[in-house]
Amino acid sequence: MKDLGGGVDVPLPDRSVDAVISDRVINLSEDRAAALAEAFRVLRPGGRLGVGDVVVDGEPDPERRRAAEQRVGRVAGALPVAAYRALLAAAGFVGVRIVPTADHGDGVRSAIVQAVKPAAGEGLEIRPMRASDASQVLAIYQAGLDTGQASFETIAPSWEAFTAARLPHLRYVAADTGTGQVAGWVAASQVSARPVYAGVVEHSIYVHPGCQAHGIGRALLSAFIAAGEDAGVWTIQSGVFPENAASLALHQALGFRVVGTRERLGRHHGVWRDVLLIERRSDVTGA
Ligand X SMILES: CC(C)(COP(=O)(O)OP(=O)(O)OC[C@H]1O[C@@H](n2cnc3c(N)ncnc32)[C@H](O)[C@@H]1OP(=O)(O)O)[C@@H](O)C(=O)NCCC(=O)NCCS
Which positions touch ligand X (CB under 6 A)?
A: 144, 147, 149-150, 204-207, 212-218, 238, 240, 244-247, 249-250, 253
Q: Which is nearer to ligand X, 237 or 285 (CB)?
A: 237
- Give the integer Cα–Cα distance in Å for 101 and 83: 18
- DSSP states along 222-246: HHHHHHHHHTT--EEEEEE-TT-HH
Running DSSP on this structure, what letter comes out for residue 183?
E
Q: Which is nearer to ligand X, 27 or 204 (CB)?
A: 204
CB of 283 to ligand X, least distance (A): 21
- Give the integer Cα–Cα distance in Å for 254 and 275: 19
Q: Which is nearer to ligand X, 84 or 172 (CB)?
A: 172
CB of 172 to ligand X, least distance (A): 13
CB of 224 to ligand X, least distance (A): 11
CB of 235 to ligand X, least distance (A): 16
Q: Which is nearer to ligand X, 104 or 218 (CB)?
A: 218
Q: Which is nearer to ligand X, 215 or 228 (CB)?
A: 215
Per-position b or e across 100-126, b if 16+ CB within 10 A of its CB: eeeebebbbbbbebbbbbbbbbeebbb
- Which residue has the CB atom at the shortest distance from ligand X? 217
- Give the integer Cα–Cα distance in Å for 56 and 151: 45
- Give the integer Cα–Cα distance in Å for 53 and 88: 13
CB of 1 to ligand X, least distance (A): 30
Beta carbons within 8 Å of 33's beta carbon, 6+ residues apart: 87, 90, 91
